[in-house]
Amino acid sequence: MKLPFIFSAIISFSCFAQKNTIYTIGDSTMADKIKPNENPEKGWCQVLPSFFDLNKVTIDNRAVNGRSTKSFIDEKRWESVYNSLKPGDYVFIQFGHNDEKVADSTRYTNPHTTYRHNLIRFVTETREKGGIPILFSSIARRNFNEQGVLIGTHGDYPLETRLVAQEYQVPFIDLEYYTEVLEQSQGVEKSKDLHLHFKLGEHPYYPEGKEDNTHLSVKGATAVAELAIECIKKIKDPAVNQLKRALKK
């Protein structure tokens, strides 16, 4: 008579002991970069492992340079994530930078139609598998005008992300806002350190120099990841409690 109880306990223990996975889907601002020991560029999800106890959670960064919601789906990258999802896994969702590409039919999405519906698909299909989606707005570009005012570049994409989060009751982290504050706090010159600004011959990876106000340096990626972590700590949805417990103290 005790065998069913023991068997049940073993199953329960196995489920409890199973590590959850954080899947991160998005574009180059999140993605792992090639030649990490040489390349000064980092995606903010590339540095996420340093904030988590990897005995409690696995981080699987599926973000890829240049992808929009459309191309991520069309290339079956989302299908691959969906097929891997198990109950209790998390999916960090952040797109927009490449959905804006109006001259590229393979990536462009209308923010109020296709982009919105693609986000809804990521959310509903994550939940179908017992996963927990978290929506993020795109990080801000370093786009100061001559008067030193930071000008937004993402149009209605962050708004639609917010609206989907509200309608479907998804945890939402407004990284556009927090990274705007970050850029402004650093000012026109110091904010260059958050990105890829190198003079001719200054860095061996970019011998011809580099001026990139979208992608992140190690400093920038770490700062954005820190912002994301602080926001995660403040989420009140109980579905995120397991994620919080996996954070390093």
37 contact partners, CB below 8 Å, separation of at least 6: none
**Are 130 and 170 contacting, i.e. CB atoms less than 8 angstroms apart?**
no
User: Is residue 249 helix, strand or coil?
Assistant: coil
- 117 part of the active site: no
124 contact partners, CB below 8 Å, separation of at least 6: 168
Task: Quote the CA–CA distance of 15 and 19 in Å, as a whole number.
Answer: 9
What phi, psi does 21 have (nearest 5°)?
A: -115, 140
- 211 part of the active site: yes
Task: Quote the CA–CA distance of 121 and 113 in Å, as a whole number.
Answer: 12
Of 28, 68, 138, 217, catalytic:
28
Token pair listed for 192: 């260059």
- 28 part of the active site: yes
**Are 49 and 59 contacting, i.e. CB atoms less than 8 angstroms apart?**
yes
Task: Quote the CA–CA distance of 163 and 75 in Å, as a whole number.
Answer: 26
Q: Which residues pair with 132 in a beta bridge?
A: 90
Of 100, 191, 215, 217, catalytic:
215
DSSP of 172-226:
EE-HHHHHHHHHHHHHHHHGGGGSEEE-TTTBTTBTT-EEESSS-BHHHHHHHHH
Q: So which residues are the catalytic ones?
A: 28, 211, 215
